[in-house]
Structure 1
Amino acid sequence: MKVILISMPDVVPVIIHETAVHFPNHGIASVGGNIDPEHDVYLIDLIRKRRSIKKYLTRQINRIKPDLIGLSAMAWQYDTCVKIAHLIKELRPEVRIVIGGYHATLMHEEIAGAEESLWIDFMIRGEGEEACRRLVNALDGRDDFADIASLSYKVDGKFVHNPRGGNLDLATLKPPIRDKRRLTWGYHIMYSKIEVLETSRGCTRSCNFCSMKHMYGRTFRTFPISRVLADLDDIYYNCKSRWAFICDDNMVLNPRRVMELCDAIIARNYKNLTLVVQADCISMATHEDMVKKMAEAGFKSVFLGIENGSKKNLNAAGKGDIVAASKKAIENCHKYGMMVIGGLIFGFPEDDEDSIRENYAFFKSIGADAAYCQILTPYPKTGMREQLLKDGFIANTDDLKKYNGLWANVRTKYLDADELQYQFWYQRQVVLGWWNPPTPVRERGRIWTGIWRFLFKPYLKLHYRRIMKKYGWRGRYQREVARWARMNHFKDLEGY
């Protein structure tokens, strides 16, 4: 059997995405790595082919002649996923198409009843490695669709949903297959080659804006440290990458295990290894010994879910009062030389112009090095969505293309969605201003930070000064909105 696994080209349109960061898709590499070796597997990560998609896929499909194509998509990528499925069926009607990922997991019943299900043959809900492995074998005549847990398949044109299987034993999973990518170039962070590593799955925190519990339940599982090290060896020695992003949902939930992993990495004696991770503030605040060990192992940057400076908004998000923990976590990270990227969320029901400005000011005061900001998004099947629907605060209930954290899909008691969108953008420009790389970042990337500080930033300041003179704040904002919208518009997929 020949199998192609495809991830979507849609991106979250942050200002410098195209030049700042492109991570490879780890999910399709992991699913592909667990398909039995007698089958041929190809990976196509469309994040690296965001133009001429139809032409590229036509060439690849005609060349490979696959029996099965898997498409992975989140809610805001699903529209593109359907268009690509339609294109594939037009090119090769006999090929079978399976979709997976968060959207298929959460919305399988809605997908099954929609018109676009015409282009979809199978759905996999939850973790995909074992179900996809068995699906390929079933198509090869060595298994039965009805016996495959978490699989949805068609009988007489209608979907049948098999019961969900339990969470996988991570010790049984094979490593991802990075060497099967058809697009091999351009994965980078600030001009340094980067790969993605997984050491655990799941999170036991209670954030009610998160849909993770529908994928794994409220559980936390870890890969064997020996397996993590073997995968890191592949990244370091075979892929020749000195940067690795750890894509775990919350790696630091078990501090003792983190320290054991760090000791094992230190013993490996990798030279110039840089690790990037996302973590929760409470663990990073209360376990300074863990933070110190992480720094010794090569962790240079951490994303912290700070979310908000308002205790009321934090409680609404199910986070609890983590303001003090956020400050302490940043202090611990800085003490051991780790850069902090702080996540902020805006658009809670009580938010107005003043509270948005105050939240940016709060972020500036606690000393994080960079901000990743989002607007509260009512993702399908989350507790937050249910509450916002009940209270009438969702302005966009069904255009999921805008469910990526950038667009305002909600209103507040004081701001409609359009004004919330504007204040989210405007207050950031006024309060946070231009990013100034902290000293540790400058030391690790003297060339690109120098280019940013002394070439790009002065040029952009001059450019925007001219725009401001001509259009003002509102005019500049409208130009930015138009640019964001263009980033996920794929002209050659129109009509599908």
Structure 2
Amino acid sequence: MRVLLVNAVSYYVKQKAAVPLGLLSLATVLKQNGHTVEVFDRAVCSGSAARRISRFKPDMVGISSLGIKSFPDGMKVSKAAKSRGIPVVWGGHIPSLIPDLVLGSGLVDYVAVGDGEPVLTALLDALAGKTSLRGIAGLAWLDNGAVTVNPPAEPRSLAEYPVIDFGFVRPQDYFVRNPPCRRMLHVYSSRGCTGRCAYCYSPAHCSGRWRPRPVGCVIAELKNLKDNFGIDGFYFVDDLFAPGAARVREVCAALAASGLDLLWSCDMRTDLCDEALLREMYAAGCRWIFFGVESGSPERQQSVGKHLDIPAIEEVLRLCRSIGIWTTASFVIGFPGEDERELKQTLAFVDKLSADVKLAALYGPMPGSEMTEQLVASGRLERPAGWRGWRDLAVIDTLGEGFSKVPSRELKVIANYFFLSIFLAKKESAGRRASRVWVKRVAAIGADIARRGGWRNILLLLLSVWEFTQIVWYALMFPGIRKKYGLRFFAKNQA
């Protein structure tokens, strides 16, 4: 069969579009099973969905929508396919958590819950008359107009999935400039997370299960990307790079033995790091680590299920700086019940951190999260009856509405102050001077969007300019709020 796989665009740019790794894995599996596959990433490709569908003439259209912000574009593509009588299947983290709402749109026939590779392979067999829809684990579908959700599939070992074929896209379209690297790309080494954070979708999506890929597959992909596309660095985009030191050391040893000589980045928990491990990571090429520290309140650390030790966070970030690893510390403000005292406690804690980048986001409800269910049970949140309701709830953003006791305007000023500070600061990155790294990075993103042309990319550029204007407005136009919380531009250690 002919399958068109579409990555829906979010019309939201704060960083360059990431490689649609899930779609590429799915495309690789389908190709190995004899299907003809094309990938249409609307985040980097111009042209209308209707024209692409008419040209390719697919037997099925699959749409990946990783976040709720991309739902409107995904529905537009679905409508174009349905108008031509082509069945539509959706997949991704959020569609997996609200398949009934996706199917209730009237524009989607099927939803793959969990890993898409086995579900879509079986679905194509069913549409070819080889099997029954009812026997496909992890499939949600419409049975005579009624939503039917089959029993979930047991998560497979990632060793069953092949090395990704990057030939379905142009890897150059996704290169990220991060000094000293100019051609960094996204890869993944695992799926899932062992964490039970109350604000996150992950516990509902993967039930606390973390699955590693064989390190050999990861190295094979990196070698292909370096030999054929010239990458000089990469990002591990895993939700959690590793749950323990043994896996970190396994990856580091493989990278060192490969001779690829690439710099890299990952997401880690501070409680998994010690000096010896960080030095091993540095020796293997690690130059950037993203840490989600979330809060400076010990009580909040426990209530949201993060369980990080506050003094230990400070020590790990200090160690990273001394070793030469560039760090980002992200935290969340606007948690339900958060008051001014707690917020000031978190901001004082963040001010002490030696992180190179400090990133704040406003809490927003996520489908399936424990905290969302608590808000619904307490009557503070009415559960959205459709996907548009979820779209209207800003999730982990800088411009949303919080559920805390602190006024939303104050939360927006704080979040956007930290975001704008990233652009204004001059920092050292990986041993080289990186004057306003993020300014250059965003300018490159804007130039890339403008170069692609087309009304959709022009709209994306205009929306991005409007959002950045709002960021500047909140960050600069309320000096009284900044003073209240001790926020000063160009303060020591602020990036």
- Normalising by structure 1, we get a TM-score of 0.81
* Residues 182 and 233 of structure 1, relative CA distance in 2, 3 Å threshold: closer
**1:151 matches 2:142:** no
One-letter identity of the residue aligned with 2:126: A
Question: How far off is 1:452 after superposition?
Answer: 5.2
Q: Is the 8 A contact 1:207 1:318 kept in 2?
A: yes
* Residues 136 and 403 of structure 1, relative CA distance in 2, 3 Å threshold: farther
Q: What CA distance in whole angstroms lies between the structure 2 residues aligned with 1:393 and 1:367?
A: 37
**1:188 matches 2:179:** no
Question: How far off is 1:107 after superposition?
Answer: 0.8
Q: What CA distance in whole angstroms lies between the structure 2 residues aligned with 1:269 and 1:28?
A: 29
Residue of structure 1 aligned with 2:311, choices 324, 328, 335:
324
Residue of structure 2 aligned with 1:210, choices 176, 183, 200:
200
Say which is worse superposed, 401-410 or 157-166, in terms of deviation: 401-410
Partner of 1:363: 350
Partner of 2:129: 141
Say which is worse superposed, 55-64 or 335-344, in terms of deviation: 55-64
Question: How far off is 1:321 after superposition?
Answer: 4.2
Root-mean-square deviation over aligned CA pairs: 3.2
Mapping of 1:160-175 within 5 angstroms? 160-175=148-163
Q: What CA distance in whole angstroms lies between the structure 2 residues aligned with 1:183 and 1:139?
A: 32
Gapped regions of structure 2 (runs ≥ 5): 445-464, 482-495
**1:385 matches 2:355:** no
Partner of 1:347: 334
* Residues 184 and 119 of structure 1, relative CA distance in 2, 3 Å threshold: farther
Q: What CA distance in whole angstroms lies between the structure 1 residues aligned with 2:418 and 2:220?
A: 45
- Equivalent position SS for 1:241: coil
- Equivalent position SS for 2:335: coil
Q: What CA distance in whole angstroms lies between the structure 1 residues aligned with 2:110 and 2:299?
A: 43
Partner of 2:289: 302
Say which is worse superposed, 375-384 or 103-112, in terms of deviation: 103-112
Q: What CA distance in whole angstroms lies between the structure 1 residues aligned with 2:320 and 2:26?
A: 34
Question: How far off is 1:209 after superposition?
Answer: 0.9
Partner of 2:49: 57
**1:439 matches 2:428:** yes
Partner of 1:107: 98
Q: Is the 8 A contact 1:44 1:182 kept in 2?
A: no
* Residues 22 and 357 of structure 1, relative CA distance in 2, 3 Å threshold: farther
Q: Is the 8 A contact 2:184 2:235 kept in 1?
A: yes
Partner of 1:122: 110
Cα distance per residue 1:329-363 (max 9 Å; x no partner): 21232232111011110002343456545534432
Question: How far off is 1:474 after superposition?
Answer: 5.4
Mapping of 1:418-437 within 5 angstroms? 418-426=409-417, 432=421, 435-437=424-426
- Equivalent position SS for 1:318: coil
**1:80 matches 2:79:** no
**1:274 matches 2:260:** no
- Equivalent position SS for 1:47: coil
Q: What CA distance in whole angstroms lies between the structure 1 residues aligned with 2:203 and 2:476?
A: 44
Q: What CA distance in whole angstroms lies between the structure 1 residues aligned with 2:150 and 2:31?
A: 22
* Residues 363 and 2 of structure 1, relative CA distance in 2, 3 Å threshold: same
Question: How far off is 1:252 after superposition?
Answer: 2.5
One-letter identity of the residue aligned with 2:119: A
* Residues 244 and 321 of structure 1, relative CA distance in 2, 3 Å threshold: closer
Question: How far off is 1:130 after superposition?
Answer: 1.0
* Residues 204 and 435 of structure 1, relative CA distance in 2, 3 Å threshold: same
The number of residue pairs the alignment matches comes to 445
Partner of 2:486: none
**1:45 matches 2:41:** yes
- Equivalent position SS for 1:412: coil
Q: What CA distance in whole angstroms lies between the structure 1 residues aligned with 2:440 and 2:55?
A: 42
- Equivalent position SS for 1:34: helix
Partner of 2:18: 23
Cα distance per residue 1:138-167 (max 9 Å; x no partner): 333333322211012333233322111101
Q: What CA distance in whole angstroms lies between the structure 2 residues aligned with 1:6 and 1:105?
A: 17
- Equivalent position SS for 2:404: coil
* Residues 280 and 183 of structure 1, relative CA distance in 2, 3 Å threshold: closer
Q: What CA distance in whole angstroms lies between the structure 1 residues aligned with 2:82 and 2:228?
A: 36
- Equivalent position SS for 1:119: coil
- Equivalent position SS for 2:477: helix
Gapped regions of structure 1 (runs ≥ 5): 478-496
Question: How far off is 1:418 after superposition?
Answer: 4.7
Partner of 1:480: none
Q: What CA distance in whole angstroms lies between the structure 2 residues aligned with 1:472 and 1:427?
A: 11
Partner of 1:481: none
- Normalising by structure 2, we get a TM-score of 0.81
Q: Is the 8 A contact 1:152 1:159 kept in 2?
A: yes
Q: What CA distance in whole angstroms lies between the structure 2 residues aligned with 1:472 and 1:266?
A: 46
Q: Is the 8 A contact 1:34 1:175 kept in 2?
A: no
Q: Is the 8 A contact 2:223 2:260 kept in 1?
A: no
Q: What CA distance in whole angstroms lies between the structure 1 residues aligned with 2:405 and 2:439?
A: 43
* Residues 358 and 443 of structure 1, relative CA distance in 2, 3 Å threshold: same
Question: How far off is 1:129 after superposition?
Answer: 1.1
One-letter identity of the residue aligned with 2:315: K
**1:68 matches 2:60:** yes
Q: Percent identity?
A: 22
Say which is worse superposed, 357-366 or 258-267, in terms of deviation: 357-366
One-letter identity of the residue aligned with 1:82: M
Partner of 1:372: 359
